[in-house]
Structure 1
Amino acid sequence: MARMFRVLGFWTLAIALMAFAGHLNEMAILFFIQTAVFVLLGYLNFTERTYMLMFWGYMFIAFVSFTYWTVFVMGNPF
């Protein structure tokens, strides 16, 4: 399970580099930070249950944040 966090770190790094190349600096910084966190967590050797709980917590925060951003910050296009 620890390898999966390193794999997530690899993919977030790829997204960060593409965002940086596309001049989306805020997005790139966000994904560089996620890359560092995922790679760090990948080397801490927690139990599988701990990794699953951290991943579900991450997904919950990501979905709530995305929903908040799209509803309240982006506003209504009509």
Structure 2
Amino acid sequence: MARMFRVLGFWTLVIALMAFAGDMNEMALLFFIQTVVFVLLGYLNFSEKTYMLMFWGYMFISFVGFTYWTVFVMGNPF
């Protein structure tokens, strides 16, 4: 399971580099930070249950953040 966090770190790095190349600096910074966190967590050798709980927490926070951003920050398109 720890290896999967390193894989997540790799893919967030790829997304961060593409965002940086596309001049989306805020998104790139967010994904660079996620890359560092995922790679560090990948080398901590927690139990599989701990990794699953951390991933569920990450997904919950990201979905709530995405929903907040799309509803309240982006506003109503009509």
**Structure-2-length-normalised TM-score:** 1.00
Q: 1:13 offset after TM fit, Å? A: 0.1
SS at 1:55 equivalent: helix
Percentage identity across paired residues of the two chains: 88
User: Number of residues paired by the alignment?
Assistant: 78
TM-aligned CA deviation for residue 61 of structure 1: 0.0
Partners in 1 of 2:14 and 2:73 — Cα distance?
A: 26
Question: After TM superposition, which residue ranges in structure 1, 4 or more long, deviate above 6 angstroms?
Answer: none
Paired position in structure 2 for 1:18: 18
In structure 1, C-alpha distance between the alignment counterparts of 2:73 and 2:20, rounded to whole Å: 23
Report the 3-state secondary structure (helix = DSSP H, G, I; strand = E; otherwise coil) of the residue aligned with 1:49: helix
Give the TM-score normalised by the residue count of structure 1.
1.00
Is 1:58 matched up with 2:58?
A: yes
Quote the RMSD (CA, aligned, Å). Answer: 0.1
